[in-house]
Structure formats: C-alpha cells, structure tokens
Amino acid sequence: MRIEIVCDVKTTLGEGPIWDAEQERLYFIDSFDGRIFRTTAAGGEIRAWDVPEKIGSMALRKDGKGAICSLETGFYALDFTTGDCELIHNPEPDRPNNRINDGKVDRRGRFFAGSMDTLEEGRYGALYRLDPDFSVTRIDEGLICSNGPCFSPDDKTFYFSDTWSGEIWAYDYDIETGTPSNRRHFGAVDGSEGGGSDGSTVDSEGCLWNALVYAGKLVRYTPAGAVERVIDMPVKKVTSMAFGGPNLDILYVTSMARPPLPRFPGDGIQRGAVFAIHDLGITGLPEPRFGA
C-alpha cells in the first residue's frame, strides 16, 4: 500500500470526491469556500467552479450539462459551461442554522442528501431524496450531522450515519421506489480518539469504507458490519473517499485544512490535501449520475 498527495489546493473543508468514469476525471469540493474542483487521476489540469454558498456535496448529471449540488439553502443545479447555479428547492426555509451536507446518487438517478446543524449540537437535520423530476421527499429526521450515504452493490441496503451517534446505520432499500426503511445498527464507530463518522463509499466486494474524521483513520467494514481493516492517514482531519482511476483501484481521500469549529483539533502541513492510496488490491464501483 502506498499513500501520496495527488492534489494540494489546501481546501478549507475538502469533501465529496467523485470519480467520473466517462471522462476519467476526479471531482471534489471545498465545502466552506464554495468551490468544486476537477483534476486528472494524477492531479493535473485543475479546473474549479464557484458556487454561491457553502456546499455539502455534488452529483454529476446524466445529461452532461453539469451537477446537482447540495448547498447551504437547498438543492441547486450547476451548469459547468456557463457557471450558472440555480435553486431547485429549499427543503428547510424555517431552519436558517441548518445546511445541506453529504449526498450520493442511487442507481436509478436519485440524489440522497441530509442536512445538519451548523453548530453540530441540535437534532434539527433531516435526510432528503431529490428525484430526477426535482421533487423532494423527506426520508428521516432528528439528525445532528448527516453523513456517509451510500448503497450496497445489490441495491438492497442503504447506509447512512449521524456523525456523532457512534454508529453507522443500515436501511433496507427498495430500488424501485427509492425508499429506505427499517433503520438499524450496522457498525460501531470508535470514538476513543475523538473521531466521528464522516464520508463513506462501498467497494466492489460490498464492504463499506468510512472516514473517521479528527482521528485520521479510514475504516473498512465487512457487509456484516465487522471492522476488516483500519488505515492510518498522514493527517487527522480526513473527510471522505471514493475509488477512481482508469481501473477504479485508487482510493482518493479528501481532508480539511481548518476545522469548522474551534473545539476541533488542528493538523500538520499536509492538511487540506487530496490523497491517493495505491496497491490496495481492491476496486470500487462506478458512481451513478443524477437523472432519469
């Protein structure tokens, strides 16, 4: 196994890596600075787009026109050509201290993203589904910091977490209707070093990977929820990950340069970089696009 820095733009809060298998490009975001970045597999040809607010996550669209973004005040559509970013829907106009956070697309083109309390204290967040027709459905609620949505390879399980709950949840998933149900405990999160569950992805073997933010670890869980391995990263504030590269065998990991709140720890000189982990002997799955 080999870990290297692939792109070092010092993201204030790097998040949401996505590998575009069609164009062979890596996308990732800076949540606090409101920017989307795109690079090659090796970190070259960097391009960036500004969005008008803090951004929690993004999903590429099937029509090739741009991306769906979860911004501070709701779901937006970004046009990569013009740079225009237009509001689709604000699901929480009555909760000004919330922002929409992490999100992923299922294999029918639906975008799931949850909101969070910006102080990470109150249970004011909820989980939403944005359908290709731009309708929005509330799926779950009572969340502090929504994170880590992803799907099993057979589309029968939806994974999700509330960062400071100490666990990752599994739901039964109906791919025909886009409905998660029967929320239950999937895996325990080791918070002994002050870390919490952040972004997640699922590999081709059906194992779930989770970034243990503030503890500097990546944890791989078996489909049964047992810890299969733990990887120590060069920085503490790792935030999310995605498999990419031409063979989907490189694990890209984002990190943050500055913590969002003063109670969280600082980090070393490599903070805010995007890392690439090689030679894991594991491959990922192509990331679905939003749309019908």
List active site positions.
198
Residue 279 annotated in ligand binding: no
Q: Looking at this protein, which amino acid is placed at residue 200?
A: S
Q: Would you list the DSSP string of the chain?
A: -EEEEEE----TTEEEEEEETTTTEEEEEETTTTEEEEE-TTS-S-EEEE-SS-EEEEEEBTTSSEEEEEETTEEEEEETTT--EEEEE-S-TT-TTEEEEEEEE-TTS-EEEEEEETTS-SS-EEEEEE-TTS-EEEEEEEESBEEEEEE-TTS-EEEEEEGGGSEEEEEEEETTTTEEEEEEEEEE---TTS-EEEEEEE-TTS-EEEEEETTTEEEEE-TTS-EEEEEE-SSS-EEEEEEETTTT-EEEEEE-SS-SSTTS----TTTTPEEEEE--S----PPPPB--
Task: Please report, in angstroms and rounded to a whole number, the separation of the first and last CA atoms in the chain.
Answer: 38
Residue 229 annotated in ligand binding: no
Residue 101 annotated in ligand binding: yes
Residue 182 annotated in ligand binding: no
Question: Which residues line the annotated binding site for a divalent metal cation?
Answer: 15, 147, 198
Residues that constitute the known binding site? 15, 99, 101, 147, 198
Q: Report the binding-site residues for substrate.
A: 99, 101
